[in-house]
Structure formats: structure tokens, C-alpha cells
Amino acid sequence: MIDFRYHLISLVAVFLALGLGILLGSAVLGENLTSRLRRAVEDVERSNDRLRAANAEMGRRIESDHLFAQQAEPVLVDNSLAGQEVVVFELARSDDELLSGVREAIETAGGSVASVVALSDRFALEDEQSVLDLARVAGTSLTDPGDLRIEAGALLGSRAADAGAPSRVSTGDRRLERMIEQLETLGFIEVNREGGDDLIPEDALFVIAGGGADQPPYDEAGFTASLAERLAARSAGVLAAEAREGSWGAASAVRADDEASARVATVDQADVAQGRIAVALGLDLAAEGTVGHWGSGPGSSGGVIPEPAPGG
């Protein structure tokens, strides 16, 4: 008969064997697992190295493209806007690089900025008095801020286009001047007349410049599209420009509107050399009645820069 001590010793032996097996198995499996993890980490590191090298090469190519565009800009835009006077509408809180890029594009191409109309944050219409003031200037009973901005943009665009039309009459000038004076007095705009007394010279071209990384003070899309479409309704050359990177922009607003995009040219990277070239050549084409949408953003369709106008 097998006594209890034998059973106890047998059970202890079984548990010892089981424990030893688990220990040995864990060591082997752990080593295999560690080896696999090490290989995986090495693969990820090699992949990251390849990506870093590719990004560095892409950065060098982009920098080379920018350098080429900067050097080629004076040649490509040579006198494409010679003698042309341009009126610039600046949307509130636009990036300084965009605004300076637009000016540089015009002047490098032989044109000049006749006047700048800078819109203020008051177009946000955040209080009742602002709504009443703008409605009075626009001659409307609208009270919805979005609708009121669209109405004001359309009226401003129509009067500016009339004032710059070749067959303009003095009444068109007077109506525009009254509206501009009212808007400036009420703090909706600031005006800088750089070319003399005329706010809108005869046969003037128009640029609407706007966009930036920060959110705009109000939904500017409707206002921009209505302003642009009415400016172009009198056959004036009109172009909307925005920065390469940003959360909003004038070009995007025009491209999103079917009527405006059919009449108004756009450039979506006007703060860099390629975009400045596109602004100059695109504005020249717009003056001849050819509309394109240049750049690399959504809605662009004419490549990065346009071909010069025939005879340009």
C-alpha cells in the first residue's frame, strides 16, 4: 500500500517539473519575442531614415524651385502690367506676406497700385449699431449679418466698377466717393490713395487680396464673391489672391462661387515667387477677358503660373 508521504513527494515532483518547464519555456519564448521586437524596431528606424532622407530631398527641390522662380520672375512678368493702375481691396486680418507679395507682383510687372481699400473688423457686424450703420450705407433693410455683407459687397463692387469704366460718368464717381466716405467715417474701411486724387482710375484693374493662418473676423466668403463678381461685371480685369497656406482666402471664396469663378481670376499662393508671377500674368490675362485659376490648392485648374498673354 502506497502511503501518504509517497503521494506528497509525487505531487511535489510534479509541481517542480511543471514550474521548471514554465521557467525554461518562458526564457526561450522571451528570447524569441525580444529578438522579433528588436528586428521590428530596426525596421522602423530604417524606414524613418528613408523618409527623412526623402523629405530632405523634397525640401531641397522645393527650395530650388523657389529660387528659380525668384530669379526668373522679372523676366517672366517683364512689363506685363506696364502702365496699368491697380486698385487693391485688402480683407481684414490678412497675412502681411500676402499683401506685400501682391504689391511686389504688380510693381515688378511694371504696374502701380493706385489705391488700397482695407476692410476692417467692423464688417463682422457683431453689434446692432454696426448692422444699422452698414444697412444705412447700403440702402437696405437687411439685418442678417451675412446677407447684409453680401449686399454691401455687391454695391461696393458695382460702384467701383462703374467709376473705373472707360465710359464712366461723373455721377458714378460721386456715388462711389459718397459710399467710400461713409464707410471710412464709420470705421468699416481705411483708404490709401497712392496714385493721386482718383480712388478708381479709368480702366483700373482690381485685386482682392485676403487670407491667413488665423481665422477671419467674420465669414468673408459671401462678401468676397459678391464684391469680385460685381467688379468684373463691367468687364474690368479682376483677380482674387490668397496665401499658399492658410485657413481661409479670397481665391477659395471666388472658386466656390459659380458666377464669380466664371468672371474672376484667382491665385492661391500669392505670397511666394510662383504666385507673384501668376498674379502679374493672370491679371494681365484678366484684363484681356481670359479667366484662369492658378496655384496648387483646391479649384486650381491652370497650372502654377499662366502663359503670358499673346503679344505680352
Residue 1 has pLDDT above 50, yes or no: no
* Digit-coded pLDDT (tens) for 236-291: 799 999 998 888 999 999 999 999 999 999 999 999 989 999 999 999 999 999 99
Q: According to the model, what pLDDT value does residue 306 have?
A: 84
Percent above pLDDT 70 for the chain: 76
- Hunting for cell 526561450 — which residue is that? 28
Q: According to the model, what pLDDT value does residue 23 have?
A: 58
Residue 142 has pLDDT above 60, yes or no: yes
* Digit-coded pLDDT (tens) for 52-107: 776 665 656 555 555 555 555 766 778 999 999 999 999 999 999 999 999 999 99
What are the CA-CA distances from residue 44 to residues 21, 55, 116, 133, 143 (Å)?
34, 16, 54, 62, 59
What are the CA-CA distances from residue 38 to residues 6, 50, 52 (Å)?
48, 19, 21
Residue 155 has pLDDT above 60, yes or no: yes
Q: Contact, 92 vs 121, CB < 8 A?
A: yes
Q: Contact, 206 vs 84, CB < 8 A?
A: no
Q: How far apart are CA 230 and CA 52, in angstroms?
A: 48
Q: According to the model, what pLDDT value does residue 35 have?
A: 73
Residue 2 has pLDDT above 60, yes or no: no
Percent above pLDDT 90 for the chain: 56
Average confidence score pLDDT of the chain: 84
Q: According to the model, what pLDDT value does residue 249 have?
A: 93
Where are the strands (E) in the chain, listed by range? 85-90, 112-119, 189-193, 205-209, 211-212, 238-241, 248-249, 265-267, 293-294
Task: Specify whether domain 82-294 bears CATH 3.30.43.
Answer: no
